[in-house]
Each structure stands twice: as structure tokens, then as C-alpha cells.
Amino acid sequence: MPFLAQRTVPISTQDLLSWTFDNPPYDLDKPIYLDCHDPSISFSSRQSKTAIRKIAAGLQNEGLQRGETVCIHSFNDVHYPLLVLGIIAAGGVFTGTNPGYTTYELAHHLKASDTKIIIAEPEILGAIEKAAKAIGVQDPRIFVFDNAHNSGKIPAGYRSWRSLLDHGETDWPRFDDLQTTQNTTAMLLFSSGTSGLPKPAIATHYNLVAQQTLVFEHPPVPYERRRIMSLPVFHAASAPNCHISPLRGGYPTYIMRRFEVEKFLRSIEEFSITEWIMVPPQVVAIINSPLGNRYSWDSVEQIQIGAAPLDKKPQARFKALVSKDIPVTQGWGMSETCCIGVRFPYPEKDETGSIGRWIDNIDVKIIDEDGNDITGYDVLGEVCVRGPTVSPGYFGEQEATKNSWKADGWFHTGDIMYCDSKTRLWYIVDRRKELIKVRAFQVAPPEIEGVLLTHPAITDAAVIGVYGPDNTELPRAYVVRAPSSEGQALTEDAVKKLVEESLAKYKWLAGGVVFTDSIPKTASGKILKRLLREQASRELKGKL
């Protein structure tokens, strides 16, 4: 019998932008988005609304139709959220790419999302330009994102995104009914799978409204939310928190271009930051830095850690660094749950390594390997969820959607968890899916394996995750050489170079390459990665 939601909170059926701007509970001229590096560059609600309406008019002038996708290829920037909301206001769909992606990865992302228009920073224009041409997106549909950090750098033959602001203003499509809000896509947040390349998870207007309502508005907190945004804002772990939450709630949000320990810590003190979400590698970087005690933590009210598991020992070390007795807790979420699904509501604290409690309105059940409902306390199994924050499926991926979303409405997460009978706290134990989490980014082994098998000297390959000295998961490849002179001459460096030329840095084989005579498999051909993990554990004792 499933664990049904203990409390149900009403969710608005308005479109995302009307819900955000119609009745703001704060001063419309208060700065909301601020550049962390130069706070004089800022946008209030009033300024943001005008910019969003102008961007929408410009995109429509470019011929963007309802439901079509616009991709932003950029590092973090104070203008980024305005572009996202301008895309949605035009009736379009936002998707964002990792600025470290290669042409190969970008081509897949653009094709899978059916991108029609691209907005890219000039410094990283080359790879996405090549990827766009490969799938038929022509140059006039690529705008240069000359922002606060690269103003004026417009390559010859391209237009600035600012030219979108020259076509007046337009209102966004307004609606206020459940069917429309549940079926109107606002974002495509890519999530890695185990059967191929990353897949675009649909985030509807309803999903995003529910995420903000259930995570940040119920229950309310007794302090002013003042945030710093250091995580990549294309990522599902930060996209709703950055692009939706600030203008809805009136939360001043300082946007960092990328995470840097000293700038991050100094900004907390300088801007009186009260809360933020971070990932385990950031925690490790701070506790290993001599700068941790140099700046004040006095303004901080709570810190949430997510996107990848963090052992309770570094969590405790980080908590000790924060002088105030505040919640420093972990949470859980996925692209398919529109970010946060489990967390500790303020002011609850934890030192056990738990991920917390499910947010309101979410039903949960635990199943065994055969799909049977085995829900109960202290029972280990795969978690399935349903509720208003759960994506309706993958865009353009009917088979993948069918595999993960069942007819009864349950999304199968692939994560193995249990709920403690005494505390009712949830703990994540393992991932049924074979994803590798590298610095909070999801890596699908089949993607790396696919690249390896393009080499003529490789006849078989398997990729697993191993843990480095800082408890970061790293991809490790097991490779079978071809029975030829070319195969026998194949080196570890050559295998690594192959991957490095095709994939983003966090997908590189930092966990090593091992040559083997065969890959262990079942009779049906499924790789026995459990055996490879056991082998890796023996091999790496005392080395990593």
C-alpha cells in the first residue's frame, strides 16, 4: 500500500508568468536579480517584466511558434533568467546546454529538443555553431549572448540577443485551467538515462508552479530569502530555483558566473546571503580550503545540499565550519521531478545523512525487482512517485517514457531507498539505474561506451563509476582490445584521448582504463556491472 501524501496544498492552474507577475507580494522596484560580480547590474520585478515582454516580442518576430524550443548555451549570467522567461512568454520552450559540451554532445541536445533558435555566448559559439549546422539550424537563427561579462563581442555576420528587444512588447499567452497548464511545456530539462544519450524531461507550467509552491512557499520561513546562485543555471538542480522562484517570491538572488571558493564565501558576507543550494563537490572544496573561516556566516539561515549523495562525515565537517546552529541538510531530486522531491523543511536539522521527507502532494511507493508493491517502513526497494511536480514524460521519447512512466501514473525513479520506521526519514542507498554522478552531473555509461566502440581497435567495452579520494564518482572503462596489431598497440592514453575528443570533461575516464579479455555478461547479453564494480574495488585498494 503506497505512502500517500500526508498533506495536500492547493496548486494554482494559472500560466507560469501570470502566476508570477499578477499579484507580487513585494516592492516591484526592489532589485531581484543581481550580478554577483557587479551588483550595480540588477533587475527589479518591474524591469524584468518589461525585458521579458520585449524578448517575447522579438522571438515572435523571428517566427518562433508556440511549443518551439529555444536553446541557451551560456555560463551563468544575470540576464539568463530574463531570456528563459522571455522564451516562455513567447509561447516557446526553454532548454539550456552545458557550456563545456562538445560538438557531438551539442548536436544530440539540439536534435533531441528540436531546437529552432539558439542564443550562445561568443566564447563558446564555435562548437554549437558546428552542431547547429550538422542538424540544419542556419546561422540567422543563432543569436550572440553578449552579456555582462563579454559585452560588445559580436562575431561578424551575427546578431546580438539585444536586437530581440527592438520590436516593442507583447503579452504572454494567458490561461487558468488545469488541463492547459498540465499540458503546456515550459522547459526541457535533460536527464541522463541508462539506455543511451541524455533525454529531455518535460517541465510543464504546472510542474514549475507546484515546485515553487511546495518547496519554497509551504511552509513559509521566518526570514528574508537572499540567495547566491553558483550552480550552473541550465541544470535541473538550479533552473526552477533561479528562473522561477526569485520573481515569484521577491527573493534577491546574486548570480555567480561560476563557482569560486573565495568569491563565493566573500559574497555570503558582503550580500548577507541567508540560504542557498549546493552540491557535494562545493562542500568538499570549502572544507578543504583555508578560506572557510575567513568570512562571516552570520547571515546564513539554512543550507541545502543535493544533486548527489554526501557522506555524513563531510556534512558534519561543513556544519562545524558554519558557526551558527542552523540546518545544513541534504535533499533529493531529479529532472523528472522538476528538481526537489525530498528535503528537510525549515528549521529541521539532521546529522545522519538522510535526504529528509517528501514534499507535500507527493505519493510514494516502494517496489521490488519484479515491480511488486512492497511499500513499508525499513523496506529497501525502488522508489516510485506521482504528484504535481512529476514530469509527464520525455519530449519525443515515447519508448523511454513508457519504460519509466507506467499506466497507473507512477514514475519509476530507479533509485533504491528506504524510510526509517522510527524517524520517518528517508535514506538513499543506491541507484538501480547505472548512472554515474560526477560533480553533480549525471553521466550515462552507454554514452561513453558508444564512443569507445567507435574505435576499430576496441571490440567491447563497459563503463562503471568508481570513487576517488575526495569521494567523487569517476568514470572507469573496461576495454577489450581487438585481436590485431592495432588492438595490441592500443594504450590507456589513446583510449582516454578518444573520449576527451568526443565528450565533456566530466565524462572523461578519470577513474582509469583497464584492458581485459572479456566483459562479464548474462546469457541475454546484459553487462554484469556488479562484477566489474567488485573487480574495481579490488584493483583500487590503496590507489585512489
Amino acid at 214: L
Mean pLDDT along residues 282-300: 89
For residue range 82-109, list pLDDT tens digits in order. 999 999 999 999 999 999 899 999 999 9
What whole-number distance in Å separates Cα of residue 203 and Cα of residue 211? 10
Task: Quote the pLDDT of residue 264.
Answer: 98
Q: What's the pLDDT band for 193 if we cut at 50, 70, 90?
A: very low
- Mean pLDDT, residues 198-206 taken together: 96
Higher per-residue pLDDT: 138 or 92: 92
Q: Residue ranges of the alpha helices (H) in 114-192?
A: 125-134, 178-183
CA 156, CA 133: separation in Å to the nearest integer? 17
Structure confidence at residue 151 (pLDDT): 64
What's the CA gap between 109 and 540, in Å, rounded? 34
Return the pLDDT at 489.
Answer: 95
Q: What is the pLDDT of residues 304-358, one digit of tens each?
A: 998 777 777 788 889 998 878 999 999 999 999 999 999 999 999 999 989 999 9
Gap between the Cα atoms of 304 and 314, Å rounded: 14
Evaluate whether 92 touches 64 at the Cβ level (below 8 Å). Answer: yes
Greater confidence (509 vs 530) lies with 509
Report pLDDT digits (tens) over 388-397. Answer: 999 999 999 9
Distance from CA of residue 194 to its chain's centroid?
17
Angle at Cα 496 formed by Cα 495 and Cα 499, nearest 5°?
A: 95
Give the helix ranges, DSSP H, for 150-302.
178-183, 205-212, 239-243, 245-249, 261-270, 280-287
Residue 333: what residue type?
G
Taking only the tens place, the pLDDT of each residue in 494-504 is 999 999 999 99
Edge to edge, the sheet with strand 411-419 lists 363-367, 381-386, 411-419, 426-431
pLDDT band for position 432 (50/70/90)? low
pLDDT at 541 over 90: no
For residue 121, the model assigns a pLDDT of 95
If one compares 128 and 443, the residue with the highest pLDDT of the two is: 128
Model confidence at 289, pLDDT cuts 50, 70, 90, reads confident
Burial of 81 (0-12, 13-18, 19+ CB in 10 A): buried
Give pLDDT, residue 431: 66
Helices (H) and strands (E) in the chain, counts: 17, 26
Task: Show the domains of the chain with their CATH numbers.
Answer: 16-419 (3.40.50.12780), 436-542 (3.30.300.30)
The pLDDT tens digits of the residues spanning 142-165 come to 999 998 777 667 888 899 999 999
Distance of alpha carbon 253 from alpha carbon 31, whole angstroms: 9
CA distance 428 to 421: 15
Residue 524 has pLDDT above 50, yes or no: no
* Alpha helices per DSSP H over 466-542: 485-489, 492-500, 529-540
Q: Is 278 helix (H, G, I), strand (E, B) or coil?
A: strand
Do the Cβ atoms of 277 and 249 come closer than 8 Å? no
Q: What are the pLDDT digits (tens) for 3-58? A: 999 999 999 999 999 999 999 999 999 999 999 999 999 999 999 999 999 999 99
Whole-number mean pLDDT of the chain? 92
Ranges 106-110, 229-233, 406-410: which has the least confidence: 406-410
**Residue 525 scores a pLDDT above 80:** no
- In angstroms, the CA 174 to CA 393 distance is 24
Per-residue pLDDT at 522 exceeds 80: no
What pLDDT is attached to residue 317?
85
Whether the predicted pLDDT of 171 surpasses 50: yes
Nearest to 167 by CA among 47, 60, 65: 60
pLDDT in tens, 235-285: 998 999 999 999 999 999 999 999 999 999 999 999 999 999 998 878 888
The β-bridge partners of 156 are none
Does residue 398 carry a pLDDT above 50? yes
Which residues, in sequence order, are CB contacts of 462 under 8 Å at separation 6+? 445, 449, 477, 478, 519, 527, 529, 532
β-pairing verdict for 339-343 and 357-358: antiparallel
Cell digits of residue 295: 568570512
